[in-house]
């Protein structure tokens, strides 16, 4: 196993690097693709009485189905690339297991049956650990990317407050409150 460790580390590094770049882009596309769906849903909810009055239920349902289909595409691709990662990691572990068995067959005097069994058990457990490490690191990287997007949003978006509204009111504000109407008239026409 020690002889294959540099090869394994190098392979996992490049695999994780490719997976991370692709996963980050797909997560960004997933967020972008869901936005029209949420917008369509909220607009339909706000205009529900108008949609019913005009008889637009079928067209709105069709539009929401199209938005849902478009919103699910990046998620499906993300799922596919996660399955691809698991497949490649399983293939890597199969190669390592083949190397362990081949070395034990070529050099029978250096190992025992129990040692080979322990080595194969460790190799098979290695795939779960490897997959968990790559997934955890990718989740960490995408979470850091989400924090970076929020930070950029905070920096780039101009505040909507008026120039005089930069003060924060004291904790005790408002201590008292009342409404006073002076010279107000109301009429219904």
Tell whether 183 is covered by a domain: no
| CATH value at residue 132 | 1.20.1560.10
Give the domain extent around 7.
Answer: 2-156
- 188 dihedral zone (left: phi>0; alpha: psi -120 to 50; beta): beta
Residue 168 domain-assigned (yes or no): no
The pLDDT assigned to 49 comes to: 87
Question: Does some domain include residue 164?
Answer: no
Q: What is the C-alpha to C-alpha distance for residues 51 and 60, in angstroms, rounded to an integer?
A: 8
Could you list the pLDDT tens digit for every one of the 189 residues in the chain?
Answer: 667 778 878 888 888 788 878 887 888 888 888 888 888 888 888 888 888 888 888 998 999 899 889 888 888 998 888 888 888 888 888 888 888 788 878 877 777 778 778 877 877 787 778 778 877 877 787 778 778 888 888 888 877 777 776 777 778 877 777 888 899 888 887
**Cα 73 from chain centroid (whole Å):** 14
Q: Is the pTM of this model over 0.75?
A: no
In-domain check, residue 162: no
Q: Could you tell me if residue 165 is inside a domain?
A: no
Q: Say if 171 falls within a structural domain.
A: no
**Residue 96 falls inside a structural domain:** yes
How many structural domains comprise the chain?
1
Give the residue from 10, 12, 23 showing the smallest Cα distance to 126: 12
Contact assessment for residue 138 and residue 84, using Cβ atoms and an 8 Å cutoff: no
């Amino acid at each position: 196993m020690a002889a294959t460790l540099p090869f394994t580390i190098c392979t996992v590094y490049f695999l994780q690097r490719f997976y991370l770049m692709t996963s980050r882009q797909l997560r960004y596309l997933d967020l972008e693709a869901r936005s029209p769906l949420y917008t369509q849903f909220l607009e339909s909810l706000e205009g529900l009485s108008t949609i019913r009055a005009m008889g637009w239920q079928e067209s709105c349902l069709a539009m929401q189905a199209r938005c849902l289909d478009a919103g699910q595409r990046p998620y499906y691709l993300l799922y596919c690339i996660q399955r691809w990662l698991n497949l490649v990691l399983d293939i890597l572990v199969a190669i390592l297991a083949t190397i362990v068995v081949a070395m034990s067959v070529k050099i029978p005097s250096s190992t025992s049956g129990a040692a080979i069994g322990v080595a194969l058990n460790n190799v098979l457990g290695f795939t779960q650990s490897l997959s968990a490490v790559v997934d955890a690191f990718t989740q960490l990287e995408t979470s850091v990317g989400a924090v970076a997007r929020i930070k950029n949003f905070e920096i780039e978006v101009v505040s909507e407050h008026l120039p005089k509204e930069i003060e924060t009111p004291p904790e005790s504000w408002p201590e008292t409150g009342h409404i006073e109407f002076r010279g107000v008239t109301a009429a219904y026409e």
